[in-house]
Amino acid sequence: MTDSDHRAQVEAAFPELDDIDDDELRAQVVEAWVLGLERGGWRDINDIPYAWNIHEVTNVEHVRGVTRIAVRAAEEQRDFHGADPDFDVVRAACLLHDVGKCYEYVDFVDDEVLDNPDPEYATEEIPHSLSGYALAHEVGCPLAVQRAIPHFIGEVPTRTLEAELVKSANSASSNAITQATMGITLKEWVDSYSQTQ
């Protein structure tokens, strides 16, 4: 896979990129995904599953769902409550919130979808929300975007409006996915997973 192949995949996978007004930020989001895909050894962005044990839904579908949910919630916050969320930050952080799955999920997919994952990066050792934060930092995303990517409670000390939008949209999308694919809530899925560890 070449850098330009991955770049084209990312741009095709996420039409929401076009809604980011800041050209530099849009390019940084794409660059973070390209790095993640290359280091994770992925041939196709659409091969990354939503979860280690839920392959019926792709990570791309989930990321797009989170972005759509968060943007609509931000519009309501603006229009109904008079809040002033930064839509570029919301979109960029949502699009990057699970880029770390490029590293974390390589052990849970068939070898045919991968080309030489980089063992320095491709590991479960670091949770995907933190490796996503690191990727955003590496490509120079603004601090406001970086800060909104870690979406598990306790990962960051200060929650911004944009970070809360990402976190709640992620929960909403994840609950929809676990209900549709497994007939259980996200909490039930997490509880079931933690019991198998």
What CATH number is associated with residue 104?
A: 1.10.3210
Per-residue confidence (pLDDT) for residue 197, from 0 to 100: 47
**pTM for the whole thing?**
0.94
**Residue 181 pLDDT:** 93
* Ordered DSSP codes for 5-22: HHHHHHHHH-GGGGG---
Residues with Cβ within 8 Å of residue 184, at least 6 apart in sequence: 178, 192
Which tens digits make up the pLDDT trace of 141-174? 999 999 999 877 556 657 899 999 999 999 999 9
Is pLDDT at 191 greater than 80 in this prediction? Answer: yes
- Alpha-carbon torsion 9, 10, 12, 14, what sign? positive
pLDDT number for residue 151: 72
Contact 122, 40 (CB under 8 A): yes
Taken in order 193, 174, 126, 118, the sign of the CA dihedral is positive
Query: Which range of residues forms the domain containing residue 89?
Result: 3-195
Provide the number of structural domains found in the chain.
1
Proportion of the chain in helix, strand, coil states, percent, rounded to 5: 65, 5, 30
Percentage of residues in the chain having pLDDT higher than 90:
82
Q: What is the mean pLDDT of the chain?
A: 93
How confident is the model over 68-104, as pLDDT tens digits? 999 999 999 999 999 999 999 999 999 999 999 999 9
